[in-house]
Amino acid sequence: MQVMLKKLLESVNTIIPGNISFGEFRLQPFNTIILTDLLISDPNPVITEDFVPQDTVIAAKTVILHFSIRSLLSEIPILHRGIVEDGQINLVFEDEGINITRIFPKPYPEDKPLLSFSNIETDNFRVRMFKIGKAENIDLSAMLHACN
């Protein structure tokens, strides 16, 4: 199982420009995946004289994903419930956009996402936002719209 996951992770890391790693992966029979020490990092964070680069984009001590086998086999896999514990996301508003859009570009049509979540819960989760360079003022409405 670990060898298969390592190959999957290597494959994902070649598709996206970010790096994804985790400490442990557990599959509980029939409907739950548990990841520990999840880290999604930016291999090319913006560096300026007055800004400390933020290479950590998303980090979480524990991520629990609940699904059904049927939903995973559908055209758009659905995770019914996600729980993120002790996590953080660092959003950097750069000259060209937001760091997370560089890490996870949208290679699919707007009406057909690669994955769907119906419910995500957080426990002890922090959001940090930074504006650097000539970035526009931070407008959360576009980001919130993308989450719908």
pLDDT digit string, tens, across residues 96-125: 778 888 887 766 556 665 566 778 899 999
Region at 114 (left for phi over 0; alpha for psi -120 to 50; beta for the rest): alpha
Q: Provide the 3-class DSSP secondary structure of residue 118.
A: coil
Average pLDDT over residues 12-23: 78
> Which of 26-30, 47-51, 118-122, 141-145 is predicted least confidently?
141-145
pLDDT bucket at 136, cuts 50 / 70 / 90? low
Read off the pLDDT band of 63 (50, 70, 90): very high
The closest of 141, 135, 128, 4 to 57, measured between CA atoms, is 128
Q: What is the pLDDT of residue 119?
A: 84
Most confident of 41-45, 58-62, 66-70: 58-62
Q: pTM of the entire structure?
A: 0.74
Question: What pLDDT score was predicted for residue 61?
Answer: 97
Which one has a higher pLDDT value, 28 or 110? Answer: 28
Nearest to 52 by CA among 130, 145, 141, 143: 130
**Pairing relation of β-strands 24-28 and 19-21?**
unpaired
